[in-house]
């Protein structure tokens, strides 16, 4: 019984983390699906989202506003606006001029952008990690009080539900809206979509904006969940999210969700049953194994090499 409760605890923790990974992974997978590049600076955009959210939360606290829904919504909206603008600007400055060149050139440009943004926040806000208020406290507990208890906090529930809502909205947007249809068209064939009168530059910008906005949501939640942020924390989270995107099949949106959840659970099982230090080793090892044995991921389509 106790083992089972322990297992469920790890599963719940894993699903919480995994759902935020999935939110970040959407940004990687959409950009890759459309222009075929790894947006290396995406992890930094997520980190900037977390910082903006924290600034908004402390700002509201200074103004004396303490009603939780207002704080959450204002922080979310601020983070999404700043991150989306950042995503748009990064695409314009660093990626659009090098689009269509040799594969390595946009990637190196993206790495440069990632270093730049990390140090931008580092210089502006200092390198120390800053505590992030939990905001949502309390939770349910299962199991008898004298042995191990499985706890589900309200924060975990909020994170999980918000992620689900975001994913549903995104799926509806992609499948129903005009821009969503254009997105799908561009990802199938950019040149053809252009010929048919779709403004592909706008669609690519839209992709970056959507990805950045979702990353900002993840930034707020992971900041709250971990309880502190620093300018470097986007880097590892970005790598994990990229792993999730590859795991699910890069270019596929349901794949990113699935990959995120699997990765989150795998990680929390490692820290629960082996040791917390090795959870990064497990996720990078997983990434290497997938790329070696099933580079298309779980739900991805095989890529045909054109001559």
Q: Site residues (CB under 8 A) for other proteins?
A: 37-38, 48, 51-52, 54-56, 58-59, 62, 78, 81-82, 85-86, 88-89, 93-94, 97-98, 101-109, 111-126, 128, 130-131, 133, 235, 239, 242-243, 246, 277-278, 280-281, 284-285, 287-288, 291-292, 295, 305, 307
What span, in angstroms and rounded, lies between the C-alpha atoms of 201 and 96? 9
Q: CB of residue 12 vs other proteins: minimum separation in angstroms?
A: 26
Instruction: Compare residues 142 and 227 and give the one whose CB is closer to other proteins.
Output: 227
Q: CB of residue 147 vs other proteins: minimum separation in angstroms?
A: 31
Instruction: Compare residues 56 and 299 and give the one whose CB is closer to other proteins.
Output: 56
Phi, psi of 207 (to 5 degrees): -60, -45
What span, in angstroms and rounded, lies between the C-alpha atoms of 203 and 101? 19
Instruction: Compare residues 115 and 185 and give the one whose CB is closer to other proteins.
Output: 115
Contact 57, 133 (CB under 8 A): yes
Instruction: Compare residues 115 and 269 and give the one whose CB is closer to other proteins.
Output: 115
Instruction: Compare residues 58 and 149 and give the one whose CB is closer to other proteins.
Output: 58
H helix runs in the chain, sequence order: 2-35, 42-63, 68-90, 104-125, 154-176, 178-188, 190-195, 200-226, 233-248, 253-273, 279-293
Q: CB of residue 224 vs other proteins: minimum separation in angstroms?
A: 13
Q: CB of residue 28 vs other proteins: minimum separation in angstroms?
A: 10
What span, in angstroms and rounded, lies between the C-alpha atoms of 118 and 131? 18
Instruction: Compare residues 9 and 114 and give the one whose CB is closer to other proteins.
Output: 114
Instruction: Compare residues 87 and 264 and give the one whose CB is closer to other proteins.
Output: 87
Q: Which residues of 27-60 are buried (b: 16+ CB within 10 A; e: fewer)?
A: bbbbbbbbbebbbbbbbbbbbbbbbbbbebbeeb
Instruction: Compare residues 125 and 171 and give the one whose CB is closer to other proteins.
Output: 125
Q: Which residues pair with 150 in a beta bridge?
A: 142
Q: CB of residue 298 vs other proteins: minimum separation in angstroms?
A: 16
The three-point CA angle 82-84-89 to 5° equals: 95
What span, in angstroms and rounded, lies between the C-alpha atoms of 228 and 184? 37
Q: CB of residue 113 vs other proteins: minimum separation in angstroms?
A: 6
Q: CB of residue 244 vs other proteins: minimum separation in angstroms?
A: 12
Q: CB of residue 125 vs other proteins: minimum separation in angstroms?
A: 6
Q: Label each residue of 32-78 as H, E or C.
A: HHHHCCCCCCHHHHHHHHHHHHHHHHHHHHHHCCCCHHHHHHHHHHH
């Amino acid at each position: 019984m106790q083992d089972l409760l322990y297992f469920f605890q790890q599963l719940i923790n894993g699903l919480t983390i995994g759902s935020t990974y999935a939110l970040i992974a959407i940004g990687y997978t959409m950009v890759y699906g459309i222009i075929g590049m790894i947006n290396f600076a995406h992890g930094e955009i997520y980190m900037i989202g977390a910082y903006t959210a924290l600034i908004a939360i402390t700002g509201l606290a200074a103004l004396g506003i303490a009603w939780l829904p207002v704080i959450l919504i204002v922080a979310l909206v601020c983070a999404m606006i700043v991150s989306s603008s950042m995503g748009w600007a990064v695409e314009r400055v660093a990626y659009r001029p090098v689009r269509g060149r040799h594969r390595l050139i946009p990637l190196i440009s993206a790495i440069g952008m990632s270093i730049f943004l990390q140090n931008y926040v580092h210089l502006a806000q200092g390198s120390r990690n800053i505590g992030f208020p939990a905001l949502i406290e309390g939770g349910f507990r299962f199991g008898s009080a004298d042995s191990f208890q499985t706890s589900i906090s309200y924060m975990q529930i909020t994170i999980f539900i918000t992620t689900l809502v975001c994913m549903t909205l995104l799926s509806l947007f992609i499948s129903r809206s005009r821009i969503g249809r254009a997105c799908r068209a561009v990802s199938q064939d950019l040149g053809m979509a252009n010929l048919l009168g779709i403004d592909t530059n706008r669609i690519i910008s839209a992709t970056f904006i959507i990805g950045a906005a979702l990353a900002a949501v993840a930034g707020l939640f992971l900041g709250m969940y971990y309880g502190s942020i620093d300018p470097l924390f986007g880097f590892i989270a970005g790598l994990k999210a990229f792993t999730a995107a590859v795991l699910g099949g890069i270019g596929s949106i349901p794949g990113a969700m699935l990959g995120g959840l699997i990765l989150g659970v795998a990680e929390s099982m490692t820290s629960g049953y082996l040791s917390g230090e090795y959870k990064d080793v497990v996720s990078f090892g997983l990434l290497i194994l997938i790329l070696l044995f099933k580079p298309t991921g779980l739900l991805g389509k095989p890529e045909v090499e054109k001559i």
